[in-house]
Structure 1
Amino acid sequence: MKNVLAENYSLLRVRVLLVLLFSVFWLQVGAQNPNITDTLSDKIIERVLKDNHDLSDKRKSFNGYPYAFYTPESQFAVGAGGIFISYLGTSAELKPSKLGFGGYYSTNKQYKISLSPELYLLRNKLYISAPMSYGFFINKFWGIGDDAPNNDNADYSQKTFAVMIGVQIPPWLFSADRTGIILDYNHTDIVDKKGNELLLSDSINGNSGGQIFGIGSDLVWDSRDNIFFPNNGAYQYFKLVFYPDVDGYLFSLLELDVKGFVAVAPDHVFAMNFYVQSTTGDAPFYYLPSLGGPKRMRGYFSGRYRDNFYGMMQLEYRQYIWKRLGFVAFGGVGNVSNSMIEYNFNTMKYSGGVGLRYLFNKKQKVNLRMDIGLGSGGNHGIYFGIQEAF
């Protein structure tokens, strides 16, 4: 047992080193690109001086909206949501804080209520986030691995309460913009296994649900010129969280999220996203890195493929075409595997699609989005949301 744990954590250290080297590489690329190193503060100060606006004129804004949508996960659903945007200070470089909220109910009796505050204070030197949600979900579990077969009896239902609190400040070490502490709590109850043979077996870790609590840290590099619809800049995020033994789950989770944006003309943007997530230890199946969903590999049911390691890349072109209406075209490749060294490029999954955008907050450039995603093997999905997928 000790040899297994030593091997796992040795592999984890190798992953952390590789990820940090990759992050440093992207920072160096950003430093050599004048379009990327233009900071938000430079652009706002220039605009203020040009337009002779007083910084105290930064106003609060609120946008609410009803919506209806269909996804493979929820089927047809109706709901309402909104976003409240405000500046918690008057400094020129201050980024807008936001409070997003929403809720929906679907035809398969699924529901979710969510609240997502993100606060920028002290000239962006203090960042606080606390996304939380509660819901009942009709989910699917096909098994673990990149070759999990289709199964007509993959359904199960769960109730989940989740909250993640993050507090970030400028770091003393590293050349990051912010670093901080993460507290993650999740309580999942497997309400009904619905005859799913995999979950009826005790061989699947987490088949009865339970509680997990994690503590970790993260690093952020952010040079985007707008946090809602960037034209230029980059965003890199690194996270490492350890989950001590609660309800029998002892594991760690590593995440790397790299985004880049280049505009060929104002609001004609090419966006790139490289994403890696990895677990080591005894994570419950519903916390394993999973392929699919409304943000990455659109077109696949969220969790269609699950395993200890997940890596993907997606590209997207965004453009406004008439007044407040816009469109996007996107494509992505990705896969899951038992470990990073076992990642199989021969079984890669592909996705692509198009989407419509409506600019409902012109001042902050916040969009409502509707995407149609297609995956291989007949996988597909329609997604509705607020803000861009990445």
Structure 2
Amino acid sequence: MSLHQIRKTLFLVVLLTISVQFTYAQNTNVQQDSTTQETEKNEKPEKIRKNLRFSILGGPGYTPDYGFLIGVSMLFTFKIDTVDPNLNRSVVPISLAWLSSGGFNVIAKPQLFFKNDKIRYFGQLQYRNNYDNYYGVGFNTNQNTVRSDTTTQFFQNSIVNFGSVLFRLGDSDFFLGPSFEVTYRNLSEISPVMAIDPTYIEQGGKPDGTDFFNIGLGFEVSYDTRDIPANAWEGIYFDLTARYYDTWLGSDTQWGFMSAEYRQYKLLPFLGKRRVLAWTAKVRSSYGDVPFTDMSLIGSPFDLRGYYLGQYRDKTSAFTMAEYRHMFNSKSKLVSKLGFAAWGGVGMVGPDLWNPGGILPNFGAGLRVEVQPRMNFRVDFGRDPLAGQNLVYFNMTEAF
């Protein structure tokens, strides 16, 4: 992406923020008594409207993954229990994109908080109906396969739904609960080089396409002291997730995975207000007859931004990165809603953690626009030093 394109993108984001943002104020809690119950009943729609905060940004854009597109990012936040002053606001970011290359995709990542934060639901629901790319399996294959409509491209029609219901353990900061996934993928319009890929053929792929159906069950345990999970300034987060997929559950194959992730956030008051250093490390390892569509990946808006989505895949992936987040403090309300972030990191993919196929360095920077209190829209420009390429990302909420 050229400097001219970057400037145009930044101008578009600021313009859209001014002209298209809609935010509803937080509800003021009202105690009910016998003399006000009828009034409260009549005002319920108004209270629901005030409790809900809704922000939307949209317009034309461009990404190297999908080409030109019309994108819309929405952010819904609300309290499930409006009389609990300490309950985190539930967060539901939703992104939609209509692609010039054909098709569209929709993704929602809800974080819901119930019963004085004794119960949580974290999940993701995604529908994809667009062209995608498969570079094979393994670092060397991924790095040396040329991306094109005759080598890596295929069309994917898929729906993915996974999540975890987490229960707080007593009064501690530990959570434990069941985890699930239901996924269906239909692949068609297979490019000639992909059609002869050994992994694709071994997993039943044919020149005209293939299907994958997964149902998995497992568990998730986490330790969470973050002040606000969607955009933490302070605290620690550790998560361990494992799921198993089997034919008796309805899956096409038998396989499983385990992932472990650590995040930490620290305010830097000596640099001013709203200045945060965040760092993370994550490992995901799969085993068994893993569909190549569900192998461990590097390259997404939530890890090493700068690599094509899913370009690097194998049974195991790992990465670590640190990010500095800086919001401007100004008397101007517009300027005080703006900020930036800068990050650097490194990752790997391989058959297991002890046999990395190669090292994936990464760095980048991005614009932040506060669309709701402590909720940012972000535009990130990530660098892949191996290929010498820059990729751009538009998302609600932070990367981690």
TM-score, normalised via structure 1 length: 0.80
Deviates more, 1:350-359 or 1:158-167: 158-167
Letter in 2 for 1:150: T
Match of residue 223 from structure 1: 225
Letter in 2 for 1:379: Q
Unaligned runs of 5+ in 1: 1-52
User: Do 1:278 and 1:310's aligned partners in 2 also have CA atoms closer than 8 Å?
Assistant: yes
CA separation of 1:73 and 1:300: change in aligned 2, threshold 3 A: same
Match of residue 191 from structure 2: 194
Offset at 1:87? 1.2
Match of residue 105 from structure 1: 98
User: Do residues 136 (structure 1) and 129 (structure 2) align?
Assistant: yes
Compute the RMSD of aligned alpha carbons. Answer: 2.3
Match of residue 72 from structure 1: 64
Q: What is the distance in 2 between the residues matched to 1:272 and 1:206? A: 40
Per-residue Cα deviation, 1:233-270 (whole angstroms, up to 9, x for no partner) = 11111100000024542101111121111111221111
Offset at 1:198? 5.0
CA separation of 1:175 and 1:250: change in aligned 2, threshold 3 A: farther
Pick from 333, 344, 348: which aligns with 2:346?
Answer: 333
Deviates more, 1:289-298 or 1:134-143: 134-143
Match of residue 169 from structure 1: 167
Q: What is the distance in 1 between the residues matched to 2:290 and 2:314? A: 10
**Which secondary structure state, in structure 1, belongs to the residue aligned with residue 284 of structure 2?**
strand
Q: What is the distance in 2 between the residues matched to 1:103 and 1:136? A: 11
Letter in 2 for 1:357: R
Deviates more, 1:206-215 or 1:265-274: 206-215
Deviates more, 1:377-386 or 1:185-194: 377-386
CA separation of 1:224 and 1:199: change in aligned 2, threshold 3 A: farther
Aligned residues: 333
Deviates more, 1:204-213 or 1:296-305: 204-213
Pick from 266, 269, 276: which aligns with 2:276?
Answer: 269
Offset at 1:91? 2.4
Match of residue 239 from structure 2: 237
CA separation of 1:199 and 1:318: change in aligned 2, threshold 3 A: farther
User: Do 2:168 and 2:175's aligned partners in 1 also have CA atoms closer than 8 Å?
Assistant: yes
Kindly name which structure, 1 or 2, has the bigger radius of gyration based on alpha carbons: 2
**Which secondary structure state, in structure 1, belongs to the residue aligned with residue 293 of structure 2?**
helix
Offset at 1:54? 6.2
Deviates more, 1:115-124 or 1:317-326: 115-124
Q: What is the distance in 2 between the residues matched to 1:260 and 1:133? A: 27
**Which secondary structure state, in structure 2, belongs to the residue aligned with residue 301 of structure 1?**
coil
Offset at 1:379? 3.3
Q: Aligned ranges for residues 1-390 of structure 1 at < 5 Å?
A: 59-89=51-81, 90-148=83-141, 149-151=144-146, 152=148, 153-171=151-169, 177-198=174-195, 201=198, 203-205=201-203, 207=205, 208-245=210-247, 246=250, 248-265=252-269, 266-321=273-328, 322-343=335-356, 347-361=358-372, 363=373, 365-375=374-384, 376-390=386-400
Match of residue 40 from structure 2: none
Q: What is the distance in 2 between the residues matched to 1:111 and 1:285? A: 22
Deviates more, 1:54-63 or 1:178-187: 54-63
Offset at 1:102? 2.8
User: Do 1:204 and 1:285's aligned partners in 2 also have CA atoms closer than 8 Å?
Assistant: no
Per-residue Cα deviation, 1:128-186 (whole angstroms, up to 9, x for no partner) = 244212121311111111112132411111111111132111247x9752111112011
Match of residue 17 from structure 2: none
Q: What is the distance in 2 between the residues matched to 1:229 and 1:62? A: 17
Offset at 1:273? 1.1
CA separation of 1:331 and 1:69: change in aligned 2, threshold 3 A: farther
Offset at 1:95? 1.0
Q: What is the distance in 2 between the residues matched to 1:178 and 1:199? A: 45
Q: What is the distance in 1 between the residues matched to 2:197 and 2:349? A: 24
Unaligned runs of 5+ in 2: 1-27, 32-46, 329-334
Q: What is the distance in 1 between the residues matched to 2:279 and 2:326? A: 15
**Which secondary structure state, in structure 2, belongs to the residue aligned with residue 183 of structure 1?**
strand
TM-score, normalised via structure 2 length: 0.78
Per-residue Cα deviation, 1:202-240 (whole angstroms, up to 9, x for no partner) = 544363232010000001111111223222111111100
User: Do 1:206 and 1:285's aligned partners in 2 also have CA atoms closer than 8 Å?
Assistant: no
**Which secondary structure state, in structure 1, belongs to the residue aligned with residue 254 of structure 2?**
strand
Offset at 1:341? 2.2
Q: What is the distance in 1 between the residues matched to 2:80 and 2:164? A: 18
The alignment-based identity, stated in percent, is 22
Which consecutive segments of 4 or more residues in structure 1 shift more than 4 A? 53-58, 198-202
Q: What is the distance in 2 between the residues matched to 1:197 and 1:116? A: 31
Letter in 1 for 2:350: S
Q: What is the distance in 1 between the residues matched to 2:29 and 2:187? A: 54
CA separation of 1:206 and 1:68: change in aligned 2, threshold 3 A: farther
User: Do 1:214 and 1:243's aligned partners in 2 also have CA atoms closer than 8 Å?
Assistant: yes
User: Do 1:91 and 1:123's aligned partners in 2 also have CA atoms closer than 8 Å?
Assistant: yes
Q: What is the distance in 2 between the residues matched to 1:225 and 1:247? A: 38
